[in-house]
Structure 1
Amino acid sequence: MVLEWWERYRRFILLTAALLFVGCSYWLYQRDQSYKTDELPLHSPAYAASTVETKEGTDDSAATQPAKPVKATPEKEKEKEPLPAPLYVDVKGQVKNPGLYQFEPGARVANALEKAGGALPDADLVQINLAAPLTDGAALVIPAKGAAPPVTATIGLVQSASAASVSTTGASTAINLNTATVEELMSLPGIGEARAKAIIDYRSKQGPFRSADDLKQIEGIGEKMFARIKDRLVVP
C-alpha cells in the first residue's frame, strides 16, 4: 500500500521537497546577510577620514600663517618720497634789500630780484638774464649801469650774473662769431634775439667775420656795447 501511494504521489512529494529546500536556503541566506550588515563598523572609511583630516590641516595652517603685507599703491609711495631741498642764494649788488634768501627748486633770477625788493634805479638789468634758473649756494650780483658783468665764484660753483657759463678763473666762455647760433649770441650781455639774428644775417651776406671789430658795422652795436662783449668774442 505504501509503495502504491509512493508511486502515485512521488512527483508531488519531490516537487514539494524541492520547493521547501529552495525556500529554506533563500531564507537562511537573507538572515546571514542581515547579520553581516548589523556588524559593519560605524566609523567613516579610511579615504573619507584622510580627506577630512587634510581639510582641517589646511584650515589650521591658513589660520596660523601671517597675513601677507599689502603692497603700497603708487600714491602712497609718492607721499613717502622726500621733498626736494630748498635753494639758498646770496642776492647782492644794485637791489633794495640784499641778503641770503631761500627759494623753491625751479626758481628764476626774476624771483630772486623780486624777493630782494626789486632793483635800484641805477641797476643795469640789460646784463641780467631774468629767466636763468637759480643754483643752490650761488651768488647773484646785480650790476650797476656801465659796470662790467660781475663774476662771482663759490665753492664748487662759478656763476655770472648774466647766467653765462664761466671757468673757475673767472674768464667767460668765448663765442665764435663765425659759428655761433642765435642762442649762443644771446648769452652775450646786451644781445637780444633781434641783434643776434642781425649778426647772423650780416655773416650770411658779408661772409665770415675777419675781426670782432666788424660787429660795429651792425646797427645797434656801438662802442659801449662792443666794449662789454669784446672780451668774449673770438674770430678764428
Structure 2
Amino acid sequence: MNMIRHSLAALALGFALALPGTVGAVDINSADAQTLAEELHGIGLAKAEAIVAYREANGPFTSAEDLAKVKGVGAATVEKNRDAIQVGGGKPKAGRTVARND
C-alpha cells in the first residue's frame, strides 16, 4: 500500500514538473489583457486592459512595482501578486528602433 502511495505521489510530481514554465506566473510585458485578468488576483478585465494600455503608451514595465503606476492598481494588489508576476523584456514601443551589433 505504501508503494502505491509513493508511486502516485511520484506520478503527480512528474505531471507538475512537465507543465510549461512557472504555473500561475505571467509576464506583465507580453501578456494580453485576458491573460492578466485570469492570472492576477484582484485584476479584472478592465484593469487588465488599463495595464496593457499603460504598457503600450509608456513602454515595458521594469519591475513589478511599476504596475502601481496604472490607475486602479495599488501597491497592495502588486504585493498580493508578487509571486505570479514576471517582468520580461517586452516589445519596444512603436516607432522606436533597436540598435543591433552585427
1:107-126 equivalence runs, <5 A: none
Q: Residue 175 in 1 paired to residue 29 in 2?
A: no
Q: Which runs of 5+ in 1 are unaligned?
A: 1-154, 158-166
Shift of 1:202: 0.3
Q: Give a deviation string over 1:60-106, Cα, whole Å, max 9, x none.
A: xxxxxxxxxxxxxxxxxxxxxxxxxxxxxxxxxxxxxxxxxxxxxxx
Distance 1:208 1:223 in 2: 18
TM-score by length of 2: 0.61
3-state SS of the aligned residue for 1:180? coil
What stretches of structure 1 move > 6 A for 4+ residues in a row? none
1:101-112 equivalence runs, <5 A: none
Q: How many pairs align?
A: 71
1:73-152 equivalence runs, <5 A: none
Residue of 52, 74, 97 corresponding to 1:200: 52
Structure of greater relative contact order (alpha carbons < 8 Å, 6+ residues apart) = 2
TM-score by length of 1: 0.28
How big is the alpha-carbon RMSD for the aligned residues of Structure 1 and Structure 2? 2.0
Write the letter of the residue equivalent to 2:43.
Answer: I
Q: Which runs of 5+ in 2 are unaligned?
A: 1-10, 89-102
Structure of higher CA gyration radius: 1
Q: Give a deviation string over 1:173-208, Cα, whole Å, max 9, x none.
A: 210111101111012111101000000000000011
More helix by share: 2
Give % identity: 37
Q: Name 2:61's counterpart in structure 1.
A: 209
Shift of 1:156: 4.1
Residue of 37, 42, 57 corresponding to 1:190: 42
Write the letter of the residue equivalent to 2:69.
Answer: Q
Distance 1:178 1:225 in 2: 17
Shift of 1:225: 1.1
More strand by share: 1
Residue of 66, 75, 79 corresponding to 1:223: 75
